Amino acid sequence: MFESLKNTVFWTQTFDSTFQHHAFFFQGFDDYRLAEKRFHWRESLGRRLGLTPQEAVFRALKDFADEFFLQHRTARAERLEELGGALFNVAFSLKFNDQDAYRSIGERWVEYHQRYRDRREVEKTRKQSQTEKVLSHRFSVDHLEEAWLALLAGDVGSEPRSVWRAARSRKSAHDIVKSSLVALDRTMFWLMVFRLHSLVTEEVVMEEHLYCQNVIRDRLKGQLAELVNALDG
């Protein structure tokens, strides 16, 4: 009896940890229905069918996906493609190779996954192209310093002010261009001026360069405080 109880506890713990890890792929879908599937396959169907915890997790998530398809056949194609991509990611993670994963998710979801993968490749190519454009804009330190000294002297024009405001939250250079309505080369120039003096941070996330203001206003003093106030204004 003790051995049976230990096996039950181990099965449940393994199911829970596996489900939690793989439910990440389904972020943005119905959390309530996912929780229902989790409970149903953990407490009833999984062990009754003699499944391993990993098999039960996959069946629970595929059950969720199949039900979503039946209830939302007219959903946007992108939504079903995202679900196909999520289901494949779970299957691949648990099955460890493409062929087993494809067999597991079924023909319907293979098609949606392939569309999702193709769309992601197009997006990846677009981002790489944008990144190459961003990286192509390089400026001499002397030129950047000259612009910085002009800012400190009070020459704060509409360009640096617009770029500064657009970088209040973390964005790619192209999103800053859209917000500021300043040309890409000039946007990059002012971002590099601010970055050189630590007013803006630059991060690379998924091969995309992101920029964001990096100031604590109540700690600024002197010319720097005056400059930030001018840029904010």
Containing domain of residue 85, as a range? 2-128
Regarding whether 124 and 220 lie in a shared domain, the answer is: no
- Residues 76, 186: Cα–Cα separation, whole Å: 38
The CATH number for 161's domain is 1.10.10.10
Q: What is the pLDDT of residues 136-195, one digit of tens each?
A: 677 888 888 999 999 988 899 999 999 999 999 888 888 898 999 998 889 989 999 998
Q: Into how many domains does the chain fold? A: 2
Query: Does residue 158 sit in the same domain as residue 95?
Result: no
Q: Please check whether residues 86 and 34 belong to one and the same domain.
A: yes
Q: What is the pLDDT of residues 88-139, one digit of tens each?
A: 999 998 876 778 888 889 888 999 999 999 988 887 777 777 667 666 677 8
| Spatial distance between the Cα atoms of 186 and 88, rounded to a whole number of angstroms | 43
Q: Does the model's pTM come out above 0.85?
A: no
Same domain, 115 and 160: no
The residue out of 83, 106, 128 marking a domain boundary is 128
Cβ contact 104:58 at 8 Å:
yes
Domain end point (choices 107, 128, 149): 128
- DSSP type of residue 168: S
